Copies of this chain bind each other. A is one copy, B any other.
Amino acid sequence: MKRASIKDIAKLAGVSVATVSYVLNKKEGSRIGEATREKILEIAETINYIPNKMARSLKTNKSKLIGLIVADISNDFYSGMARYIEDEAMKLGYTLLIGSSDENPAKFKKLTELFSEQQVDGMIIAPVMDSDETVQKLINDQFPVVTVDRYLTHTAVAGVRVNNDEVSEEVCRFLAGKKFKEIAYVGYDTRLPHLLDRQQGFEQQSEKEKVQIQKILVGLDNIAGEVHQGLDLYFQNSNNRKAVYFSSNKLAVAGLAYFIQKNIRVPEDVSVIAFDETDAYSLFPVEIDYIQQPLDEMAKTAVQLLDDQINGQPSRKSMIFPARLIHKKSVQ
């Protein structure tokens, strides 16, 4: 079907398209006579007029679309984040385009291009490894961009994230205070800065605390398998009291599943702290100590930073939010 246009309304009302446009956009000046105004509104209603935002965008150069690129929208963490971003974006009148990069720089780049072509007003992105060049290009084009969760070391771009290093230090101090002498750090084998921060914050603090760290770094292809392998080693290698710091909720779920399978009790046999929460913890026999990111505030800030840029206030500031270590019952 052919959709009704402003032109159809104009014809039916016997006025010009300009007049129709003015009343539909309810310009405050209210320069249009009340009679014609009502007539136009009525006609628009009856012929079920739906404005074409693309035509509008073409003229105004604002699409009211924003693109969100996450690693994987089916991942708990990102779908939660996406929801907060969606809500905030809607409030400001934006609609959300979503794409998953799968940690693949080529796909990430493709997504930025796709979104650019669709004329999004800006993008909120969780950049993957080796995507610096892609992001730099957006920045060079003065394209509004805000990073979430992750950040780039070689590219100045607005972003929101938590104090990954500091909160990892806190975890280390806390466990050292519980007299653990050899702690396993379960993380990804990665160059992503925010994950390195988690790892390095933990490592650096461990030196001060005279605590040994056993690193278990896994690839993305076989997370559960490699976590299990790594924990096998950790549990065989020494007789010290055991504690494990999982640097993501996915890793934690893999590790906790291992403990169940091996009948390793938490916290009697091993103390546990995890980065990020997930519903899954509620089914574990013991409440898990975890690090909580203020996702709602971060999402809100990300959208607002983006909106500011879109409205011509260029900004490259990084907002760093405090993550909190929530104490439950998985450390003793």
Contacts and interface: CB of A to CB of B under 8 A. Distances in A.
Contacts of A98: 82, 86, 96-98
Contact of A65 (B48, B51, B118, B142): B118
Interface stretch (A52-60, A170-178, A208-216, A301-309): A52-60
A257 to B, nearest CB: 5
A116 interface: yes
Contacts of A221: none
A9 interface: no
Task: Please tell me how many copies of the chain the complex holds.
Answer: 2
Nearest to A258: B282
Contact of A73 (B86, B99, B118): B86
A113 interface: yes
Interface residues of A, number: 51
Given A52-B117, A97-B97, A260 B279 contact: no
16 contacts: A1-B141, A3-B141, A52-B119, A53-B117, A55-B58, A58-B58, A72-B83, A73-B82, A76-B76, A90-B99, A95-B99, A95-B114, A96-B97, A98-B98, A257-B283, A283-B284
Given A3-B141, A73-B83, 10 more contacts: A50-B113, A54-B58, A74-B80, A76-B279, A95-B99, A96-B98, A98-B98, A253-B279, A257-B283, A281-B283
